């Protein structure tokens, strides 16, 4: 069974995907982490994430980079959104994601184009959304808990900018697959969102 979980930054898709993987006993891949690694490597190389050649060169990042805490930072998230607009980068990472999805027994993948590009044949497709205000509040709480000095307005502006970039890019834009179920987590806590996602997945599996 393949489960695709797509959605914008801080919508809760990662939390939901991990919970679904645990519930169904499937391996999980946060595909956004791959793009964050490319963005981070591009910065380490001294390259320009808006330049397709520099971004493609950064796709040769070492696997050890995936364990770096810095990949979870807002800076790395912004770099990921910038390098992901390049078709060359998306193609370079496509095979890695596709192989993970097609492994024996299935998998859960979360990202922005899983249900539309990486695994269009997925048995379950979720498109997780939330308002910019709700997402900014969540990210603000997370960052303040780690001692980062940011403002709510700065985070909201950054999320809005990423949304615009992700939904308007020519290569695999962020969009719900036609057969995806949209789950709005704006007014749901973690447990409520997970419970709803599991219920949707189980219903899809039975049908």
Residue 187 to residue 185: CA distance in whole angstroms: 6
Q: Considering Cα of 180, then 112, then 137, then 156, what sign does the dihedral take? A: negative
Q: What are phi and psi of 181, to 5 degrees?
A: -95, 125
Segment 111-126 mean pLDDT? 96
Answer whether residue 22 shows pLDDT above 90.
yes
- pTM for the whole structure: 0.86
The per-residue pLDDT for 16 is 98
Integer Cα distance of 184 and 193 in angstroms: 8
Separate counts of helices (H) and strands (E) for the chain: 8, 5
The rounded percent of the chain whose pLDDT value lies above 90 is 80
Domain boundaries, the chain: 2-206
Three-state helix/strand/coil letters over 29-59? EEHHHHHHHHHHHHHHCCCCCCCHHHHHHHH
What's residue 116's pLDDT?
Answer: 95
Q: What is the DSSP letter of 152?
A: H
Gap between the Cα atoms of 10 and 138, Å rounded: 7
Does position 38 have pLDDT exceeding 90, yes or no? Answer: yes
The first and second tokens of residue 23, run together, are: 């519930």
| Buried b or exposed e, range 44-80, using 16+ CB within 10 angstroms | eeebebeeeebbbbbbebeeebeeeeebebbebbbbb
Structure confidence at residue 172 (pLDDT): 81
pLDDT at 1 over 90: yes
Computed on alpha carbons and rounded to an integer, the radius of gyration of the chain in Å comes to 16
The CATH fold of domain 2-206 = Rossmann fold (3.40.50)
Burial label, 88 (beta-carbon count in 10 A; 0-12, 13-18, 19+): middle
pLDDT in tens, 71-96: 988 889 889 989 998 999 999 999 88
**pLDDT computed for residue 146 by the predictor:** 80
> Which run of H or of E encompasses 198?
helix 190-206
Confidence of residue 42 (pLDDT cuts 50, 70, 90): very high
The predicted-structure confidence for 120-176, as pLDDT tens digits, reads as follows 999 999 999 999 999 999 999 988 888 778 899 999 999 999 899 889 988 788 999
């Amino acid at each position: 069974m393949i489960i695709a979980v797509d959605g914008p930054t801080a919508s809760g898709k990662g939390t939901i995907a991990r919970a679904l993987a645990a519930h169904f006993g499937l391996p999980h891949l946060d595909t956004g982490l791959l793009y964050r690694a490319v963005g981070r490597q591009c910065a380490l190389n001294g390259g320009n994430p808006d330049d397709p050649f520099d971004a493609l060169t950064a796709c040769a990042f070492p696997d050890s980079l995936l364990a770096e805490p810095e990949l979870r930072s807002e800076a790395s998230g912004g770099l990921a959104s910038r390098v992901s607009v390049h078709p060359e980068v998306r193609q370079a990472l496509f095979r890695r994601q596709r192989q993970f999805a097609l492994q024996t027994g299935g998998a859960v993948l979360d990202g922005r184009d899983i249900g539309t590009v990486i695994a269009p044949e997925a048995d379950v497709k979720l498109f997780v959304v939330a308002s910019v205000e709700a997402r900014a509040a969540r990210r603000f709480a997370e960052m303040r808990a780690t001692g980062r000095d940011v403002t709510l307005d700065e985070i909201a502006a950054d999320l809005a900018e990423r949304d615009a970039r992700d939904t308007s890019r020519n290569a695999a834009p962020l969009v719900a697959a036609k057969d995806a179920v949209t789950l709005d987590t704006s007014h749901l806590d973690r447990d409520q969102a997970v419970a709803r996602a599991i219920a949707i997945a189980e219903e899809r599996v039975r049908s």
